[in-house]
Homo-oligomer: A and B are copies of this chain.
Amino acid sequence: MRSGPTGHRGVRRGNLALVLGEIAEGSRSRADLAAITGLTRPAVSSLVDELTAARLVTESGPAEPSGRAGRPGTALALDPQGPAGLGAEIGLDHLGACVVDLCGGVRARRRVGIRNRGRHPEGVLADLAELLRQVASGEPPRPAGLTVAVPGPVGAAEGVLERSPGLGWPPRVPVAAALRVALRETGATELAALPITVENDANLGALAELRLADRPTDLCHLLAGPGLGAAFLVDGRLLRGARGFAGEIAHLPVRPDGPACPCGARGCLEQYAGETAVLGAAGLGGRGGRGRADWIEALAQRAAAGDTAVRGALATAGAALGIAAAGVVDLVDPGAVVLGGGYGELGEWVVPAMREEMARRITTRPWQDDWLAASPLGRHGPLLGAALHVTATVIADPGLLTDDDV
């Protein structure tokens, strides 16, 4: 828990992060940085030189007049040609890859519909490696790391997907190690050499909400679609739980005497808001695979056309999500709950019932409508979050990339 003594190298590494963090908040001159951080001008200049050499920072033109004496300095900003973030996503029904530059600009993105359920991990990861090779093969910026969004919890063992009943994979698939092999086999040796992080998809979607949708730093992100997951940000940091299983919401007891769930319990959230339940209630359950490649879109079209069964199914799902979310608010007290994933795109029909249950059941303080919102990122949150996770890691600790032995 305690860190080691704070020596010179730790101080410099911390100060690199301090300065880069300020620049990431908005363009700053060296004089601004000295004033904000309390560091001396020479110290700031030395740190900026190091950040510039690592292509993390670039001079973006004359600074805004600061009101201070002397000529205005040069504005410093994050370098969009600097180290980028490479994100990947393994979904139940898709694969995705994207490159985000240091300023958050999306440089390349692909999402491929493919039914991964029941497929062997090796085949899925080979396809993902190929997709990553294509997406990352373009112009610079070059990625500084790769983060992979997976539909299940990642525990203490780094890079390992603990379980994913949705994919039907065996327990503890070493996604990072296996993907590294697959990248090597597809000829993407440069990518195979990157640091690879594996992270739960709902968690990464929450990071995307924080960075792209201006959410509060205490946030609950419900990722609902094929698979149900939740993520909690506490003061901007992910809440992982003792074993990495925080946010495993699919089997939260919603109605304890409700329908039997394949998990062995009764009345789990999945029995009301899961894909099978919703498609069944919507009258689309018996069609097997047909139309299922994009059943979210199919539901949206029918709901928009006034299909009462579909609308009812989505309202039922929303009510169950609302009961679960009321429990979330009672227990964790997030600043807001965001509905992301496919259901975020169905928000028009899911959110009202969800809000009604939450407003009725959260009685410890007056309900405020902005406590619940559908995500504007929809199904794209986790993939964007994966790429942003890489750039955020670089910005939080640029010493990882600078030349000094910090």
**Contact A246–B5 (Cβ < 8 Å):** no
Interface SS of chain A: loop
Are B5 and A15 within 8 A (Cβ)? yes
* A239 located at the interface, meaning its Cβ lies under 8 Å from any Cβ of chain B in the complex: yes
Query: Does A286 interact with chain B (Cβ within 8 Å)?
Result: no
In-complex Cβ contact of A234 among B234, B248, B327 (8 A) = B234
Q: In the complex this chain forms, how many copies of it are found? A: 2
Is the beta-carbon distance between A252 and B331 smaller than 8 angstroms? yes
Which chain B positions have C-beta within 8 A of A153? 364
CA distance A185 to B404 in the complex (A): 61
* Given contacts A246-B332, A330-B249, A360 and B236 within 8 Å (CB-CB): no
Using A256-B255, A323-B256 as known contacts, say yes or no to A4 and B333 having CB atoms under 8 A apart.
no
Task: Give the distance in Å from the alpha carbon of A268 to the alpha carbon of B327 in the complex.
Answer: 10
Bound-state CA distance A38–B7 (Å) is: 9
Residue of B nearest to A319 (CB): B256
- List which A311-356 residues lie within 8 A (CB) of chain B: 323, 326-328, 330-335
CB distance from A127 to the nearest CB of B (A): 27
Say whether B330 contacts A265, CB under 8 Å.
Answer: no
Cross-chain contact A239 with B6 (CB below 8 angstroms): no
A360: B residues at CB distance < 8 A: 264-265
- Complexed CA–CA distance, A108 and B61 (Å): 66
For A1, give the chain B residue with the smallest CB separation: B236
Q: How many of chain A's residues touch chain B, expressed as a range? A: 35 or more
C-alpha gap A253/B331 in the complex (Å): 11
Find A361's partner among B245, B251, B333 (CB 8 Å cutoff).
Answer: B251
Q: How far is the CA of A86 from the CA of B217 in the complex (A)?
A: 34
Q: A253 — which chain B residues lie within 8 A by C-beta? A: 323, 326-327, 361
- Give bound CA distance, A119 to B242, whole Å: 41
Q: Which residues of B contact A239 (CB under 8 A)?
A: 234, 239, 332
Residue from the list B5, B15, B268, B328 in contact with A331, Cβ < 8 A? B328
* A14 CB to nearest chain B CB (Å): 5
CB distance from A216 to the nearest CB of B (A): 6
Residue contact A333 to B249, C-beta cutoff 8 Å: no
Within 8 Å by CB of A5, from B39, B234, B364, lies B39
Contact of A333 among B244, B265, B365 (CB under 8 A): B244
* Interface assignment of A243: CB less than 8 Å from any CB of chain B: yes
Contact of A264 among B265, B328, B333, B363 (CB under 8 A): B363
Chain B hits for A327, CB < 8 A? 252-253, 327, 331
Q: Is A157 an interface residue (CB 8 A)?
A: no
Choice from B11, B255, B261, B333 contacting A11 with Cβ under 8 Å: B11
Q: Which residues of B contact A328 (CB under 8 A)?
A: 331
CA–CA, A326 and B331, complex, Å: 12
Q: Which residue of B lies closest to A365 (CB)?
A: B245
* Residues in chain B near residue A332, CB distance under 8 A: 232, 239, 241, 246, 331-332
Q: How far is the CA of A2 from the CA of B216 in the complex (A)?
A: 16
Whether B361 contacts A265 by the Cβ 8 Å rule is yes
Assuming the A-B contacts A218-B242, A265-B360, A363-B265, are A330 and B6 also in contact, with contact meaning beta carbons closer than 8 angstroms in the complex? no
- Would A365 and B331 count as touching, CB distance under 8 A? no
Q: Which of A4-50 contact B (CB under 8 A)?
A: 4-7, 10-11, 14-15, 17-18, 21, 37-39
Contact between A242 and B5, CB atoms less than 8 A apart: no
Q: A240-B333, A243-B335 are in contact. List 18 more A-B contacts (CB 8 A).
A: A1-B235, A1-B236, A2-B18, A4-B38, A5-B18, A6-B15, A163-B365, A239-B332, A241-B333, A245-B333, A248-B364, A249-B330, A251-B363, A255-B255, A256-B323, A264-B360, A265-B363, A332-B332
Residue pairs across A and B with Cβ atoms less than 8 A apart, 9 shown, are A1-B217, A4-B38, A5-B14, A216-B242, A245-B365, A246-B333, A248-B331, A251-B362, A268-B363
